[in-house]
């Protein structure tokens, strides 16, 4: 049981630390909207600030509403993650790892929202003129955690179907 929590907390803390270090470096080393080409026609480091969520969701809403909304959603997500963690088995490492990635990412972005009222983004992936919305380490962690969570659910479902066949 103890190993489950060590894995969970270590992974979540690692994500938060890497996320905050990379955001601090970009914020201090670059000017807002400055862009550095890393891989031409594919990947730049571009310093932007996002007052909304993924894909600019709620970016035009008032700052007070955004603050209350994002704080509430993040706290609810953290409570849900902790609930699922408490119900998980020690052997469900993929589930524990995925939940820790999501928690670490959510916490990293929450820190930005509390400090700046917006999130620092800088990873800019594109092909020619088609851009994916700029994101950060926390966003990547949340996305990877969610994908792994779906994988875990598919595996669990297929195991359940094998036992019923």
pTM of the model: 0.85
Which pLDDT value is given to residue 162? 58
Which pLDDT value is given to residue 161? 62
Question: 139 catalytic, yes or no?
Answer: yes
CA atoms within 13 A on the CB side of 8: 21
Quickly count: other Cβ atoms within 10 Å of residue 25's Cβ.
12
CA atoms within 13 A on the CB side of 9: 7
Which pLDDT value is given to residue 160? 67
The values of phi and psi at residue 93, to 5°, are -65, -40
Instruction: Report residue 152 as tokens.
Output: 């875990």
Which pLDDT value is given to residue 84? 86
Which pLDDT value is given to residue 146? 95
Residues of the chain with pLDDT under 50: 164
Instruction: Delimit the domains of the chain by residue range.
Output: 2-159
Options 19, 112, 121, 124, the catalytic residue: 121
Options 19, 112, 124, 139, the catalytic residue: 139
The secondary structure element, H or E, covering residue 45 is strand 43-50
Sheet holding 35-39, edge to edge: 35-39, 43-50, 119-127, 130-131
Which pLDDT value is given to residue 124? 96
Nearest alpha carbon to residue 74 among 100, 110, 118, 102:
110
């Amino acid at each position: 049981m103890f190993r489950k929590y060590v894995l969970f907390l270590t992974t979540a803390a690692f994500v938060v630390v890497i996320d905050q270090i990379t955001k601090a470096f970009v914020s201090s080393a670059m000017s807002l909207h400055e862009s550095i080409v890393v891989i031409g026609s594919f990947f730049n480091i571009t310093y932007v600030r996002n007052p909304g969520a993924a894909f600019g969701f709620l970016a035009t809403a008032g700052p007070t509403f955004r603050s209350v909304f994002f704080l509430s959603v993040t706290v609810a997500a953290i409570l849900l993650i902790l609930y699922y963690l408490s119900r998980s088995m020690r052997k469900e490492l993929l589930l524990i790892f995925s939940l820790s990635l999501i928690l670490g990412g959510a916490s990293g972005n929450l820190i930005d929202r509390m400090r700046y009222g917006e999130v620092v983004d800088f990873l800019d992936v594109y092909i020619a003129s088609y851009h994916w919305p700029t994101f950060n380490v926390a966003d990547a962690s949340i996305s990877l955690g969610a994908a792994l969570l779906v994988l875990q659910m598919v595996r669990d479902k297929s195991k359940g179907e094998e036992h019923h066949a």
